[in-house]
Amino acid sequence: HTVTLFLNILGCFAWFYIDATRGVDFGLSILWFLLFTPCSFVCWYRPLYGAFRSDSSFRFFVFFFVYICQFAVHVLQAAGFQRWGNCGWISSLTGLNKSIPVGIMMIIIAALFTASAVISLVMFKKVHGLYRTTGASFEKAQQEFATGVMSNKTVQTAAANAASTAATSAAQNAFKGNRM
């Protein structure tokens, strides 16, 4: 995916070179490269590794949620809406009207984005299949979340402070209501 994002920068630069109104696409392509490369590692690789290492249903669900969002990003990148910073199918057909070599370059990048989306879907299905063999479930994830949250000192302190503030506020409002 990182290679595709880098090629996307080159494709958007070529598009910007032949059409000066495509500066937004070029700028966003750089942003997507800088943002999505580390985020894909932090947001889906680490939760997946942690889920398999600790056999945690909750971590699997975190991974599934993030990976579904990433799959949606892959599909949007493959579509290639103009001014979104991607050399997808829509943008590449528009670029083909301006310059055939640039359009062909953009079509190749659109095909790579499409391949990324397909590979993401295949990987999702494989991980889901492995997840089903671990005995994990949504109920187990809920239990792990509740146990983890309730045993966390920071959460306990925040909950106690919130309850104390709510009780104090309710008592003050009750006394104000009796005075009128």
24 in a structural domain? yes
Q: State which residues form the domain around 147.
A: 137-173
Q: Are residues 14 and 90 in the same domain?
A: yes
Statement: the pTM of the whole predicted model exceeds 0.85: no
Beta-carbon contacts of residue 20 (< 8 Å; ≥ 6 apart): none
- b/e sequence 31-61, b meaning 16+ C-beta within 10 Å: ebbeebeeebeebbeebbebbbeeebbbbbb
For 21, which DSSP code?
Answer: G
pLDDT, average across residues 137-141: 67
* Within a domain: 178: no
Q: Are 77 and 110 in contact (CB under 8 A)?
A: no
The answer to whether the beta carbons of residues 67 and 121 sit under 8 Å apart is no
Greatest alpha-carbon pair distance for the chain in Å reads: 81
The pair of three-digit structure tokens given for residue 17, joined into one six-digit string: 């070179």
77, 5 contact by CB (below 8 A)? no
pLDDT at 150: 61
CA distance 20 to 125: 42
Tokens found for residue 178: 């009796």
Same domain, yes or no, for 90 and 132? yes
Tell me the per-residue pLDDT of 166-178, one tens digit each, with 9 for 90 and over. 777 766 776 665 5
Asked whether residue 102 is domain-assigned, the answer is: yes
Residues of the chain above pLDDT 70, percent: 82
Helix axes 100-133, 57-79, angle to 10 degrees: 160
| Stronger pLDDT, 117 or 169, i.e. the higher one | 117
Same domain, residue pair 126 and 141: no
**Nearest Cα to Cα of residue 54 among 117, 140, 152, 129:** 140
**Is residue 63 one of the residues assigned to a domain?**
yes
Name the domain count of the chain: 2
**Mean pLDDT of all residues in the chain?**
84
The whole-angstrom separation of Cα 89 and Cα 102 is 13
180 assigned to some structural domain: no
101 and 164 together in one domain? no
pLDDT at 177: 58
